Structure 1
Amino acid sequence: MIPKNVLELCQSGVSVSAEMAKDPNLSPHEAAKKLFHYDIEDEKVSKKVTLGEETDADLDQALACGNWGTSKPTRLFLRIFHDVLCTLEKNPLVGVCSPSLLGSNGVCPLTIFAPIPDICRHMSNVIARAEEEVYLATNFWMHSEPTMLITNAIRELNRKAGVLNKKIVVKIIYDRGSAKQFIHNHIVVEPKTYADPNGAIRLPHPDEIPHLDMEVINFHQPIFGTFHCKYVIADRKIAIIQSNNIQDNDNLEMMTQWEGAIVDSFYDMALISWHNALHPPLPLLNRPAAGQPTPTFHSDSHATLFDQSGKLREVYHSTETMPDGHDNLRELAAHASQTDLPMHTSKDPHYDPDIKSEVLRAAAAMNPRQGERRIDAITRLLNTTIQPDTKGSAPDIEPADSMTPFIPIPQHDPVPVAMVCREPWGKPGKASLHTPQNEAFASALRHAERTAFIQTPDLNAEDLIPEIIKACRRGVHVEYWYCLGYNDAGELLPGQNGHNEMIAHGFFKELEEQYHQNLDIHAYVAKDQIHPIHNKFKKRSCHIKVMIVDEHIGIQGNGNQDTQSWYHSQEINIMCDSRLIVGKWMEGLRQNQNTHVYGKVEKEGPDSGCWKDPQTGKQAEASIGVDPGKFAWAKGFIGAVQRVRGAGGF
């Protein structure tokens, strides 16, 4: 049963964003304290949740706690949402969103599976197309090609604002740990720091962007309360949530774009995260997204990407003339196959007016160049600026098997969406367990009936492991993909619970043999490879964070399935209920990597949980294997230092 006070808050309509709309000079901190008696800097242990079989009355309560619009949540979605709401009893803001906005609805017109520069290309387009305000959040910001794409977009936004003779407001929040944060968790960053031309950030100086009002915050909750969030909100119309930080590395990442009423939930969460008074206030505090047209689906260009049945018209990845007689979008295919559209880069910007134009440019970038095979074009895409010479090992492929990083989704009615986040927790230990994020992950596994899929850099959260075991014993087929060697050293620190092979081995050791068929574990394999490459080499890694249950529940965002994300970091995630959207995610996951083809780990024997080369029987180079050895704690200490310096994974 949902606690009475939570039920009342969900149905009250009160929120931090609505309170600030009444008084724009009110800080989010003051609004949160006034309404809920807590804010994001308060570490309040939420109540231990005792959950059993929900009754129909319980699910009716959950249904009444969301703003679903015309969408209809399924029973599975409501069971998970019910359990999420039960975590709010002692601290209504443990989910970093006002309870009345936790359950909502929206549409998802675009998903991207790609290296960081490609996702930042889209982010830069969204920023450059903004008209009133931009809010950007990232955990880690390090001067690089991705940051230059973003800073160039800020300059382009300033240029446009100057032409229109208006001011546009920009807010940026990131986490770069500072001793000052033991006193003030949210530090206002001065231009001399963020605009230092030789520094790590290198944002434009206010003198360079006179038509923008830009404010920058550095947020960390010592010791372990990392601001691990990664999202963008533009004009209170578009919300982007992605797995990547804004830096250059070898990761494959995932991004989704959301529009509709759910953007108001993102907006509320962003204000709560900001905490401080806003100077100046955001101009759209009084214009909610709910009830407004969704910008992408109200654009005629997006509809032309699909045929009458909603099927994506074919984009040919070929340098040959497009054949006749195919069901395709002729203009798009012709341009993608015959025109050498330049890539949008920091040194050669090409801003696009809409998603269709971005899809066209991305498709053109996948065309083989003179002397290249199709697989070589994929290698070129995956070779980011820090590792331009990595060689592919996979054989050449057919056009239908090529990478499709940009995946537009056909026009659809709004679907149920919930914010399933967690606040930061700086203290050591695992007291901060009962949060909307953690309960969503656990409840999804607890209530799954057929399948559960997870992709995460690391999986070792102590309270997640039993849920996977129980699901397998219940007959649910669980499949999860990890990244070999991702932050191995950090995961070997005391209290972190161990690295990927150790945990995977533990599953097969604990599960009775008859249930091994219900668990498949894979190590990430890039699209141009036939074997995993250890993260140590920084050549082909994966940082995607997603869970899919029973083919229609999707949880995506910032949270890993590791100790840090489960018990300490602030994480932002959405949970949606849609076979269309989740089906496109699963299709994109398989289309843009070879994990499911070449990455399956051993299920039996002393090396169960480890990937082994089918030809040689050896593990991948640099793999630790099941046993990290006696001095694992020392490796863990080195890994922790690397993470603080920005050399490790987040």
Structure 2
Amino acid sequence: MSFTSSLVHDFVKRLEHGQPTENTTRHAEIPWFDIGDASDRELLVTHSSPCGFTLGTGASIYTDVLIPALTAARREVILVTCFWAGSATLSALHDALVKLAAHRRALLNDARSRGTTPTPPLRVRVCFSSRSLLQKLLHPQSRDGYIYPPSSWQAALGLPDPVLLESAAIQLQAKSLFLLPFSVMHPKFVIVDRQRAFIPSCNVSWEPWLEGCVEVTGPAVSGLLSFYSRTWEPEHGGVQPPLERNHLLEPPAFDVRMAGLALVASAAHRRAALLPESPSPIPTLLLPSSCHRNPHFRPFPWQKDPKPPGTPLNVALLALLDGARRSIYVQTPNLTCQAVLRAVLSALQRGVDVDIVTSRNLMLLEQLVTAGTTTSWCLRSLLRRFRKSERSKPESLPAEMELGHVPLGRLRISYFRPRPSLKMRTHTKEEEPVHSHLKLIMVDDKYTVLGSGNLDRASWYTSQELGILFDSTDLANTVGTEVDCVLADRLELVFDSAAL
């Protein structure tokens, strides 16, 4: 299967036009992909086999999907997140690593007693950007980041005793990367044995927010591995060294759930298989967005809003919004990027229906600092411009022009809200998400974008982000159905132009 040619052509053309030409500028972007280079282009314009889609809170997704996947790894685990904090998620991750270490020690001891080939080491990389305000203010301002000494793992990061991990041949490294003033590394993903990849929206943190996670295999995993290497291990030149296999035997997979991992239940938790009847990989765009240290603020009202950096994620999203013909569905925690709002208004004026789901009063201070505005203010501005477009449309047209008139599309705006308190169904309390942190865009019921990128100014101008775009009607239908089920009774409708 191949992409709709017009989408790829538009994406590549826009990306080539928007990429910087000076080597100094390219070097400053973390990471850098050259769309003019065929090998780099193949990492972005690729295929994948989506396996599953999960909704829930961060803790429920980690305990049900991500932790079982990473503890089943035989050779390597790469865990990248933005925020790292003490939480039920971190406690579950700690306990799972302890259980995994015990399992591996038993294998090593058995091999020694039998005189057989030992279990090979398990390479684990933990990467994050933010742990606290003080940590960010004092963080080394180098793209090499900061590697935490093992002596700090337990107290600072909540990880197991390094002696315990070393005794189980678990080679763990913990690293952080942050550049002032706002260049946070915002992607979240897990790569297991370079074969399976998970792209969640959740951090390792305490917030009971609505999150999503997609699992993929196939060629797109290679692009994701390159994205990791260029960001977190640049000393390898952007190419991850191969995993040495030699004569070592692969250890048996370890199912941490059978070892008693405590699951965190969520009233919003759902899992769905993706494309079970389609064995062929589907067209996929891997969409990195480099971090930028210059936020390009324009604080005065007479200053024109600057054009967003031409990153693959920014370019692809604008190409999708500009090319939409029937419908746009947007679910984002915050919506403060003016380029996105202009593209949404333009789509409405072309007759495209737009459905927006966002959160009310989520991270207000962060919005004001990074954008100088808030989601609520931006939505009110969008509504004013939409109503102005309605008033300016002619009430009647000459017969010869009637066929060429395009009515405005339908605009719906809703805020996510938690359901009323639910009675406990079991001895374990179910987490009810209090905000939506899911990042999802669907266009024309065909294109689906998931990942870390919000539609706010921080994600579009300064933060490093990661998105993945799927070209599949079946996948879009499945994702849309699951999201609709979770959002039932969790939306507060604030505007619907069809009701006017």
Do both proteins adopt the same fold according to a TM-score greater than 0.5, normalized to the shorter chain? yes
Distance in 1 between the 2:272 and 2:420 partners? Answer: 19
Deviations 1:104-133 (A, max 9, x none): 111111101101111101110001110000
Deviations 1:240-265 (A, max 9, x none): 00111011112010100010111101
What does 1:475-624 correspond to in 2, within 5 Å?
Answer: 475-493=351-369, 496-511=371-386, 512-513=389-390, 517-526=409-418, 540-594=434-488, 598-602=491-495
- Residue 206 of structure 1 aligns with an amino acid whose one-letter code is P
- Residue 540 of structure 1 aligns with an amino acid whose one-letter code is V
Do the aligned residues in 1 keep the contact of 2:15 with 2:310 (CA within 8 Å)? no
- Tell whether 2:65 aligns with 1:117: no
Question: Against the structure 1 CA distance between its residues 484 and 76, is the aligned structure 2 distance closer, same or farther, given a 3 Å change threshold?
Answer: farther
Aligned residue for 1:602, secondary structure, equals strand
* Residue of structure 2 in register with 1:56 after alignment: none
Q: Post-superposition shift, 1:547?
A: 0.7
Structure 1 residue runs of 5 or longer lacking an equivalent are 1-70, 288-342, 351-361, 366-379, 383-402, 531-537, 609-650
* Residue of structure 2 in register with 1:209 after alignment: 165
Distance in 1 between the 2:409 and 2:14 partners? Answer: 30
More contact order relative to length (CA 8 Å, sep ≥ 6)? 2
Instruction: Name the stretch that deviates more: 403-412 or 268-277.
Output: 403-412
Aligned residue for 1:148, secondary structure, equals helix
Q: Post-superposition shift, 1:381?
A: 2.4
Distance in 2 between the 1:504 and 1:151 partners? Answer: 41
Q: 1:454 aligns with which of 327, 330, 338?
A: 330
- Residue 349 of structure 1 aligns with an amino acid whose one-letter code is L
* Residue of structure 2 in register with 1:425 after alignment: 292
Question: Against the structure 1 CA distance between its residues 591 and 131, is the aligned structure 2 distance closer, same or farther, given a 3 Å change threshold?
Answer: same
Question: Equivalent pairs: percent with the same residue?
Answer: 20
- Residue 552 of structure 1 aligns with an amino acid whose one-letter code is K
Deviations 1:147-168 (A, max 9, x none): 1222223233333433163211
Distance in 1 between the 2:31 and 2:49 partners? Answer: 22
Do the aligned residues in 1 keep the contact of 2:410 with 2:496 (CA within 8 Å)? no
Aligned length: 419
Distance in 2 between the 1:169 and 1:219 partners? Answer: 20
Do the aligned residues in 1 keep the contact of 2:81 with 2:203 (CA within 8 Å)? yes
* Residue of structure 1 in register with 2:314 after alignment: 438
* Residue of structure 2 in register with 1:82 after alignment: 12
* Residue of structure 1 in register with 2:93 after alignment: 150
Q: Post-superposition shift, 1:478?
A: 1.1
Distance in 2 between the 1:256 and 1:142 partners? Answer: 23
Name whichever structure is richer in strand by fraction.
Answer: 2
What does 1:41-190 correspond to in 2, within 5 Å?
Answer: 71-75=1-5, 77-83=7-13, 85-86=15-16, 87-88=18-19, 90=21, 91=26, 96-97=32-33, 98-121=40-63, 122-162=65-105, 163=107, 165-176=119-130, 177-183=136-142, 186-190=145-149
- Residue 165 of structure 1 aligns with an amino acid whose one-letter code is T
Distance in 1 between the 2:161 and 2:241 partners? Answer: 22
- Residue 271 of structure 2 aligns with an amino acid whose one-letter code is F
Distance in 2 between the 1:277 and 1:186 partners? Answer: 12
Question: Against the structure 1 CA distance between its residues 108 and 80, is the aligned structure 2 distance closer, same or farther, given a 3 Å change threshold?
Answer: farther
Aligned residue for 1:407, secondary structure, equals strand
* Residue of structure 1 in register with 2:189 after alignment: 231
Q: Post-superposition shift, 1:437?
A: 1.0
Do the aligned residues in 2 keep the contact of 1:456 with 1:482 (CA within 8 Å)? yes
* Residue of structure 2 in register with 1:636 after alignment: none
Q: Post-superposition shift, 1:218?
A: 0.8
Deviations 1:343-395 (A, max 9, x none): 969x9416xxxxxxxxxxx9xx9xxxxxxxxxxxxxx724xxxxxxxxxxxxx
Question: Against the structure 1 CA distance between its residues 528 and 259, is the aligned structure 2 distance closer, same or farther, given a 3 Å change threshold?
Answer: farther
What does 1:370-385 correspond to in 2, within 5 Å?
Answer: 381-382=266-267
Distance in 2 between the 1:465 and 1:125 partners? Answer: 39
Aligned residue for 1:195, secondary structure, equals helix
Distance in 2 between the 1:500 and 1:516 partners? Answer: 23
Question: Against the structure 1 CA distance between its residues 166 and 183, is the aligned structure 2 distance closer, same or farther, given a 3 Å change threshold?
Answer: closer
* Residue of structure 2 in register with 1:32 after alignment: none
Distance in 1 between the 2:31 and 2:482 partners? Answer: 29
Do the aligned residues in 1 keep the contact of 2:412 with 2:495 (CA within 8 Å)? no
Question: Against the structure 1 CA distance between its residues 469 and 83, is the aligned structure 2 distance closer, same or farther, given a 3 Å change threshold?
Answer: farther
Do the aligned residues in 2 keep the contact of 1:454 with 1:479 (CA within 8 Å)? yes
* Residue of structure 1 in register with 2:233 after alignment: 275
Aligned residue for 1:181, secondary structure, equals coil
- Residue 109 of structure 1 aligns with an amino acid whose one-letter code is C
Distance in 2 between the 1:96 and 1:344 partners? Answer: 39
Deviations 1:141-190 (A, max 9, x none): 11111012222232333334331632110011111325242256511111
Question: Against the structure 1 CA distance between its residues 286 and 421, is the aligned structure 2 distance closer, same or farther, given a 3 Å change threshold?
Answer: farther
* Residue of structure 2 in register with 1:405 after alignment: 270
Do the aligned residues in 2 keep the contact of 1:84 with 1:435 (CA within 8 Å)? no
Aligned residue for 2:203, secondary structure, equals coil
Question: Against the structure 1 CA distance between its residues 282 and 446, is the aligned structure 2 distance closer, same or farther, given a 3 Å change threshold?
Answer: closer
- Residue 462 of structure 1 aligns with an amino acid whose one-letter code is Q
Q: Post-superposition shift, 1:94?
A: 6.7
Do the aligned residues in 2 keep the contact of 1:250 with 1:539 (CA within 8 Å)? yes
Q: Post-superposition shift, 1:283?
A: 6.6
Aligned residue for 1:463, secondary structure, equals helix
Question: Against the structure 1 CA distance between its residues 130 and 253, is the aligned structure 2 distance closer, same or farther, given a 3 Å change threshold?
Answer: same
Distance in 1 between the 2:355 and 2:139 partners? Answer: 43
Structure 2 residue runs of 5 or longer lacking an equivalent are 34-39, 108-117, 131-135, 246-255, 298-305, 394-406, 423-431
- Residue 176 of structure 2 aligns with an amino acid whose one-letter code is N
Q: Post-superposition shift, 1:527?
A: 5.2
Do the aligned residues in 2 keep the contact of 1:545 with 1:559 (CA within 8 Å)? yes
Distance in 2 between the 1:94 and 1:539 partners? Answer: 33
Distance in 2 between the 1:441 and 1:282 partners? Answer: 29
Distance in 2 between the 1:266 and 1:184 partners? Answer: 19
RMSD: 3.0
Question: Against the structure 1 CA distance between its residues 217 and 598, is the aligned structure 2 distance closer, same or farther, given a 3 Å change threshold?
Answer: closer
Q: Post-superposition shift, 1:450?
A: 0.7
Distance in 2 between the 1:212 and 1:460 partners? Answer: 43
Aligned residue for 1:482, secondary structure, equals strand
Do the aligned residues in 2 keep the contact of 1:169 with 1:282 (CA within 8 Å)? no
- Residue 377 of structure 2 aligns with an amino acid whose one-letter code is M
- Tell whether 2:279 aligns with 1:416: no
Question: Against the structure 1 CA distance between its residues 588 and 457, is the aligned structure 2 distance closer, same or farther, given a 3 Å change threshold?
Answer: same
Aligned residue for 2:124, secondary structure, equals strand
